[in-house]
Homo-oligomer: A and B are copies of this chain.
Amino acid sequence: MTEDIQTFPVSSALVKSIETMANRLRRHSLTSTSEAGSGHPSSCFSCAEIFSTLFFRFLRFDVNDPHSLQNDRFVLSKGHAAPILWAAWAEAGAFPVERLGTLRRIDSELEGHPTPRSPLVDVATGSLGQGLSVAVGMALAARQNQTGNRIYALMGDGEIAEGSIWEAAALASHYGLDNLVALVDVNGFGQSQATMYGHEMEGYRARFSAFGWHAQVIDGHRVEEVIASLEAALAVRKQPAVILAQTLKGKGVSFMEDRDGWHGKPVGKGAELEKALEEIGGDLELEVPLRLAAPKGGPAPKNGRPKTVVVPPPEYSAKDSVASRRAYGTALRKLGTVDPSVVVLDGDTKNSTYSNEFMEAFPDRFVECFIAEQNMVGTAVGFATMGKTPFASTFACFLTRAYDQIRMAAVSQVNLNLCGSHAGVSIGQDGPSQMGLEDLAMMRAIQGSTVLYPSDGVSAERMVALAASSPGITYIRTSRPKTPILYPADEEFQIGGSKVLKSSTDDQATIVAAGVTLHEALAAYELLKKGGVQVRVIDLYSIKPLDVKTLQKAARETGCLVTVEDHYPEGGLGDAVLSALAGRPARFRKLAVEGLPRSGAPEELLDLFGISAARIAEAVRALL
């Protein structure tokens, strides 16, 4: 256990210095928020001793190499306490303390809530209740890496009400993550009033204990207790540890301390600020110098992403029929053989998404996340921050459960790959609760995202390989029904591309589709051809970014476009195409799932909701 802490003994001088450091951090938090004119000083004051103790007695971190996989990780789940995070890094020597005066300015990396604009931040926080999931992913990655580093996450008590915390708590305990230490700053107040539990510390202990955690209750303002509890937490084996720290919001400033109404309010400059500074104390010299401990070092992990990855090609014959979801699983397995950084997560749907193909080949790199999609995505983000290439899958409709985590992953600028299976009404009898019909809209609106929608086994396999090396959030939409192979194994695809599958100089209209509706479009092509109408058919496999050129060319040459998607009419493929046309003239019709879907056979539903071959042909004829 001694290996985990700095070697000098806990002298009273050291304790005093850590206490003094806490007040230094308070002072920085106070002045930087007053200067900014906004921010959350009271939420910083309650965790000042936690910060000073954790950073200057336990954390092993090289500020000159913040992304080193040997570093411990610290996740500030209560992201509104950003001012004290910046203060702690400044005091740790990461940057000059003067820079704290730039807090919240448009040209500063010291944002109002932590973002990776600062290299000291792995993951953006500020949407509460997400940090523990990220820490779980980091802890799983560190275990794979065998680097022996620790993952710390600091939560507020208000955010404990978020269910995602309990999803993460359950998984951390299930996988026995003893390299994970959570701390909860129980100051008793949320934003608008007291929390549900105030200072009922034993209630918190009971909850974490029941979820399989080693739980300690301490006075979060007594440095000795913070030290002793962290030492005890690091000694725990085969289960995660949580330290429940009873604290006071606004601690250290009489007119803020333990008072409601001070959430997210800076102290006004002038007399009020003077009084607060006086109470925190002016002479904040350290008796013992404090510094961050260095990482343990040791060999770097060998399971990072190789420089070149060549994925084995698809192996279908032209006569095969395969569901794109099945090809997703096959592709993951192939990718796993050539890229050791790939990890796969699923939410108890692996036999439907076919991520189980990867699990069977690489059980150590597969994480069953059970029915808890928020935590699955948060855990995947944690993996991504540790140099892994995560793919997380569930039914497309259930990814809506994790939309906030996906949104925050984009702010975190991580490389995260998501797969939503069972898109649209074509899943059939299970009915609307299981149909992904909003997912394209949801994923297109994610900042910097890539949205891919394969229509056959070959393109599905190629999309998986493309996703692995694509930065940011990449979404792959797969379908339940089997569909014929459309492409030869060596066909090339690219992000932002499309395929013109049918084209002639006589085209009177263009049908743009992807997924199951592309096959309906091809059938509509035959129907129309029989009636003497020639149409162009485009496979829009990259919904974002978009092949604007090909779409504009089709509009120009055929003068008439019909889009078809197994998705609601808003925000999906049709809207994407309109965005590419942007006011250019063309007769246009968007076919999408209008009305509330229901149970039924897939082919019946495609027809009922207006996206079958017959309905497409009808729409084309009506436009001519």
Contacts and interface: CB of A to CB of B under 8 A. Distances in A.
Interface in A201-257: 203, 206-207, 209-212
A431 interface: yes
A217 to B, nearest CB: 14
A589 B167 CA distance: 43
A570 interface: yes
A370 interface: yes
A571 B444 contact: yes
Contacts of A209: 206, 210
B401 A404 contact: yes
A400 interface: yes
Nearest to A106: B600
A111 interface: yes
Given A126-B433, A401-B127, A585 B582 contact: no
Contact of A599 (B106, B576, B584): B106
A520 interface: no
Interface stretch (A13-21, A330-338, A350-358): A350-358
A112 to B, nearest CB: 4
A561 B211 CA distance: 56
A63 interface: no
A128 interface: yes
B117 A598 contact: yes
Interface in A14-44: 36-39
A63 B209 CA distance: 44
Interface stretch (A142-150, A190-198, A460-468): A190-198
Interface residues of A, number: 118
Interface stretch (A371-379, A490-498, A511-519): A371-379
Interface string A374-416: 1100000000000000000000011011011001101101000
Interface string A141-171: 0000000000000000011011111110011
This chain: copies in complex:
2
Contacts of A105: 599-600
B397 A404 contact: yes
A90 interface: no
A588 interface: yes
Nearest to A368: B193
Contact of A190 (B161, B348, B430): B348
Contact of A431 (B112, B407, B604): B112
A159 B582 CA distance: 44
Interface string A558-597: 0001000000111110111011011111111110000110
B430 A192 contact: no
A532 to B, nearest CB: 24
B447 A437 contact: yes
Nearest to A586: B583
Interface in A94-134: 104-106, 108, 111-113, 115, 117, 124-129
Contacts of A373: 404
A105 B370 CA distance: 30
Contacts of A397: 127, 404, 407
A599 B108 contact: yes
B442 A596 contact: no
Contacts of A115: 431-433, 598
Contacts of A437: 445, 447
A199 B125 CA distance: 36
A429 interface: yes
A420 interface: no
Contact of A442 (B36, B111, B159, B441): B441
Given A192-B368, A579-B590, 14 more contacts: A106-B598, A162-B372, A174-B196, A191-B348, A191-B352, A192-B346, A207-B210, A401-B403, A408-B433, A441-B570, A442-B445, A445-B571, A570-B575, A575-B579
17 contacts: A106-B608, A111-B431, A115-B433, A125-B433, A126-B434, A161-B371, A170-B196, A191-B349, A192-B368, A193-B368, A196-B370, A207-B210, A410-B596, A411-B433, A438-B442, A445-B568, A445-B572
